[in-house]
Amino acid sequence: MAGDSLIVAADVDILGGNTAINRCIAEYLKGADARFNGVKIGFVVCSKSGYYTKNYAQRLAFILNMNGAYFNGHALFEIVDQYNNFRTWQKQYDLSLREVCYERLIVFHKGFIEEGGVARKKVLALHASERKRSNTLALWEMVAQNIDLRYMVKTLHVENGEIVDCKGCDFKTCLHFAEKNSCYYGGRVTKEILPAIEWADVVVWICPNYNDAVSAMHTALINRLTVLYRKISLRHKQIYGVIVSANSGSDVVAAQLINALNFNKGFMVPPKAMICEIANDPGAILNVSGIEQRAADFAKNIMRNSNL
C-alpha cells in the first residue's frame, strides 16, 4: 500500500469508538508491523453528540502512525451534532451550517491530496528539561548524534518562567500582532522561539511524560503558536516526538502531540514520528536494552522522511 491514500470515515458510538473499523484495522495489522508503511491517511469522524471525535481520531492516528502511516496537516475533519462545530466558520460564509460543512470538506480534501516533496534539512528540537537529570533529553542527544552532518540541527531550551500561556486574543488582534512578527506578551517566544520554528523544516518535541500529559511549558508554547499559524502555513513542516515515561502512558502524550500539532495547527506527521521509551531514575535511559540502535533508527527515519 506504500504511496496509497486512505480516508478513515467513522461514526463514533456512545462509547467513543467504532467497533467495525477497529476490528478491520486490527485484522489488517495482524502478522505485520508495516502494512501501512508510506500510506497517507486522513480522518472524517462524525458524532451524534459533541464528544469523542478528536479522542477517537488521535488514538487511531497514533496507532497507524507507529505502523508507518503519515498525515498531511489538518488530517481530521469532524462533524458533530447539528453541525455545531461549524458555527465559527459560518461567520465567513453566507450559508447554512450544513452547507458550510460541505465547503470545509472541499478544503479538507484539497489539503489531503496535496503532495509534499519539500527537501527538509533544518531540524529544531525543543525541550524544557534539566540536562543533568532528563532521560528524554538524553534520548534526543542519542538520536541527534546519528543525524547526518548535511542537516542543520538546533536545540532550544524553553526555560521555566519564560513562556506565558496564550492570552486568547480575538482573531483580529492576533492577526495584527502576527503581521508585526509579535504577540500580546512578546518576550523570548516571539524574539527567538517562534522565529526558530519558522526557520525549521522539522520540529522535534522533546516531551517527558508529566502525569500522562504534555508538559505545561510545551502546552503553553503550542498555544502561543497561534500567532505564527496566523502568519504562515505550517503544512510543510514535519513534527516528531521524543517521549520518555517513568512507567507507562507515552502513547497518551504522543496522541496529544498529534492532536495539537497536526489536527489543530496543521504540521505534517511523517511515518513513525514518535520514539517512546520507559526510564525512571536519572540516566536510566542509557541502560535500556537496545536503546542506542533504536535511537540510530529514529535518526535514520527523520532523514528518510525529509523529502516526503
* Residue 53 shares a structural domain with residue 151: no
Tell me the residue type at 183: C
Specify the DSSP element, H or E, that contains 87. helix 87-90
Could you list the residue range(s) of the whole structural domain that residue 237 is in? 122-307
Boundary residue ending a domain (94, 113, 132): 113
* Residue 199 shares a structural domain with residue 251: yes
Q: Which residues contact 299 (CB under 8 A, 6 or more apart)?
A: 143, 144, 145, 146, 147
pLDDT digits (tens, 9 = 90+) for 186-245: 667 778 899 999 999 999 999 999 899 998 889 989 988 988 888 899 999 999 999 999
81, 49 contact by CB (below 8 A): yes
What average pLDDT score do residues 43-52 get?
A: 96
Low-confidence winner among 171-185, 258-272, 279-293 (lowest mean pLDDT): 171-185
* Residue 187 shares a structural domain with residue 247: yes
The conformational region for residue 31 under phi > 0 = left, psi -120 to 50 = alpha, else beta, is left
Judge residue 2's burial from the number of C-beta atoms within 10 Å of its C-beta, 0-12 exposed, 13-18 middle, 19 or more buried: exposed
Boundary residue ending a domain (58, 83, 113): 113
* Residue 126 shares a structural domain with residue 176: yes
* Residue 106 shares a structural domain with residue 127: no
* Residue 43 shares a structural domain with residue 130: no
Higher pLDDT, 143 or 165: 143
Q: In terms of Cα–Cα distance, which of 270, 268, 187, 170 is closest to 226?
A: 170
* Residue 135 shares a structural domain with residue 256: yes
Give the pLDDT score at 35. 80
* Residue 29 shares a structural domain with residue 154: no
For 283, the grid coordinates are 540516566
pLDDT digits (tens, 9 = 90+) for 73-111: 999 999 999 999 999 999 999 999 999 999 999 999 999
Specify the CATH number for the domain of residue 251: 3.40.50.360
Number of domains in the chain: 2
* Residue 31 shares a structural domain with residue 93: yes
pLDDT digits (tens, 9 = 90+) for 253-276: 999 999 999 999 999 999 999 999
Mean pLDDT of the chain: 90
* Residue 132 shares a structural domain with residue 262: yes
Boundary residue ending a domain (55, 88, 113): 113
* Residue 128 shares a structural domain with residue 109: no
* Residue 137 shares a structural domain with residue 23: no
Specify the DSSP element, H or E, that contains 306. none
